[in-house]
């Protein structure tokens, strides 16, 4: 399945980033938490091993940025996968059954949507302390909501189509109809939305990490790196620029690929 040229280029860049973040550490001898006192806040240089420079504590930025990218991707992909699974099932069930089931299930969605999320996260962090698990829980609690709404809407229109009636007439039960008839036919918009969810979640996680919630030391995510870099912006701009550029490129490519997928899927018969 090929998309337009821009999207294919973005896809390759994305794959390159993924490969880099996975293989990167092997390319560079430094570790993410090794403190190099001889090169504190040094600018990028090819001569020494610090290709992207170091941060305020002398940690190599190349390795840390790649770790950050890895972390952001993992959070983005895992949380998206969970929100996809939960959101699609939830939305399909609401849309198919309608009536009271739909009514109450959607009220739950609306309540969760109305939660002041940041306060919620801060509150939980105060109680349970900073942890990645908490991050996953918080993102997981809200990541699926919009997906559920979208799938519910799509299900409502697919439900009217004649082949659903035909399936009922063939004796299929609700489970089979939802799994084999409804979900495969709503996948188009779902896939597109899923690819756009990934950058949203990454951005959200970065934001939380930037605020000091979520990923803890010595691990890094693009958000924490950007937070650190913001402080040093005047004196050592690369500490901000490197993770910033990585984040921007990552998000841009994900969005372009999402658009390309939508255009491609819109052409299907």
Partner 1 sequence: MSEPLLKVRDLGVRFGATTVLKDVSFDLFAGETLGLVGESGSGKSTLARALLRLVPVSGGEVLWRGRNLLGCDAAEMRNHRRELQIVFQDPLSSLNPRMTAGQILAEPLSIFERALSLRDRQLRIDAMLERVGLGKAAARRYPHEFSGGQCQRIGIARAMMLNPTLLVCDEPVSSLDVSIQGQIVNLLFDLQRDFGIAMLFISHNLAVVRHLSHRVLVIYRGRQVEIAPRDTLFAAPVHPYTRGLLAAASGVALSAAEPPATDVPVPSGCVFRDRCAYRQDACAAAQPNLEAVGPEHLVACRRARDLMS
Q: For partner 1, which is the closer residue by CB, 129 or 173?
A: 173
Tokens for 23, please give them: 């293989």
Assigned token pair, 86: 């939960």
Q: Name residue, tokens 């299930």.
A: 105
Is residue 60 helix, strand or coil? strand
Nearer to partner 1 among residue 107 and residue 161 (C-beta): 161
Determine if 235 is a binding residue for partner 1 (CB under 8 A): no
CA nearest neighbour of 105 among 124, 90, 83 = 90
- 36's torsion region: left (phi>0), alpha (psi -120 to 50) or beta? beta
What span, in angstroms and rounded, lies between the C-alpha atoms of 200 and 220? Answer: 19
231 binds partner 1 (CB under 8 A): no
> Does residue 107 bind partner 1 (CB under 8 A)?
no
The pair of structure tokens assigned to 226 is 């950007």
Contact residue for partner 1 among 31, 48, 185, 255 (CB under 8 A): 185
For the CB of residue 173, give the shortest distance to partner 1 in the complex, in Å.
Answer: 7
- On whether the CB atoms of residues 253 and 179 are closer than 8 A, the answer is no
Stretch that binds partner 1, among 11-19, 33-41, 66-74, 169-177 (CB under 8 A): 169-177
Q: Is 166 in the site for partner 1 (CB under 8 A)?
A: yes
Per CB under 8 A, 165 contacts partner 1: yes
Quick one: which of 103, 120, 128, 163 contacts partner 1 (CB under 8 A)? 163
Instruction: Tell me which of 100, 129, 133, 162 binds partner 1, using CB under 8 A.
Output: 162
d(C-alpha 52, C-alpha 119), whole Å: 35
Min separation Cβ 10 and partner 1, Å: 27
Rule CB under 8 A: say whether 171 interacts with partner 1: yes
- Peptide bond between residue 213 and the one before it cis (omega within 30 degrees of 0): no
Enumerate the H helices of the chain as residue ranges: 5-27, 61-97, 99-114, 117-128, 132-143, 145-159, 162-169, 174-176, 183-210, 222-231, 238-266
269 binding partner 1? (CB under 8 A): yes
Work out how close the CB of 159 gets to partner 1 at its nearest, in angstroms, rounded to a whole number: 13
Among 6, 27, 98, 161, binds partner 1 (CB under 8 A): 161
Closest contact distance (angstroms) between CB of 160 and partner 1 is: 10
Q: Is 27 in the site for partner 1 (CB under 8 A)?
A: no
The site that binds partner 1 (CB under 8 A) totals a number of residues, namely 18
The site for partner 1 (CB under 8 A) is made up of 161-163, 165-173, 176, 180-181, 184-185, 269
């Amino acid at each position: 399945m090929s998309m337009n040229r821009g999207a294919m280029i973005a896809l390759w860049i994305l794959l390159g980033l993924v490969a880099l973040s996975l293989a990167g550490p092997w390319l560079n001898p430094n570790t993410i938490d090794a403190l190099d006192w001889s090169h504190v806040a040094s600018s990028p240089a090819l001569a020494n091993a610090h290709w992207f420079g170091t941060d305020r504590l002398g940690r190599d930025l190349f390795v840390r940025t790649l770790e950050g990218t890895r972390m952001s991707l993992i959070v983005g992909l895992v949380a998206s996968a969970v929100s996809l699974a939960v959101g699609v099932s939830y939305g399909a069930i609401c849309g198919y059954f309608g009536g009271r089931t739909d009514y109450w299930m959607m009220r739950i969605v609306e309540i969760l949507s109305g939660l002041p999320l940041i306060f919620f996260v801060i509150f939980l962090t105060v109680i349970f302390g900073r942890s990645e698990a908490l991050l996953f829980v918080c993102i997981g609690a809200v990541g699926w909501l919009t997906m559920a709404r979208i799938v519910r809407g799509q299900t409502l229109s697919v439900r009217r189509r004649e082949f659903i009636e035909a399936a009922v007439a063939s004796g299929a039960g609700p489970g089979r109809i939802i799994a084999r008839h409804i979900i495969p036919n709503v996948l188009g918009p779902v896939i597109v939305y899923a690819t756009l969810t990934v950058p949203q979640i990454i951005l959200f996680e970065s934001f939380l990490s930037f605020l000091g919630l979520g990923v803890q030391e010595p691990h890094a995510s693009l958000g924490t790196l950007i937070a650190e870099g913001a402080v040093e912006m005047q004196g050592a701009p690369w500490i901000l620029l490197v993770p910033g550029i990585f984040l921007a490129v990552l998000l841009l490519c994900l969005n372009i690929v999402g658009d390309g997928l939508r255009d491609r899927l819109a052409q299907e018969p």
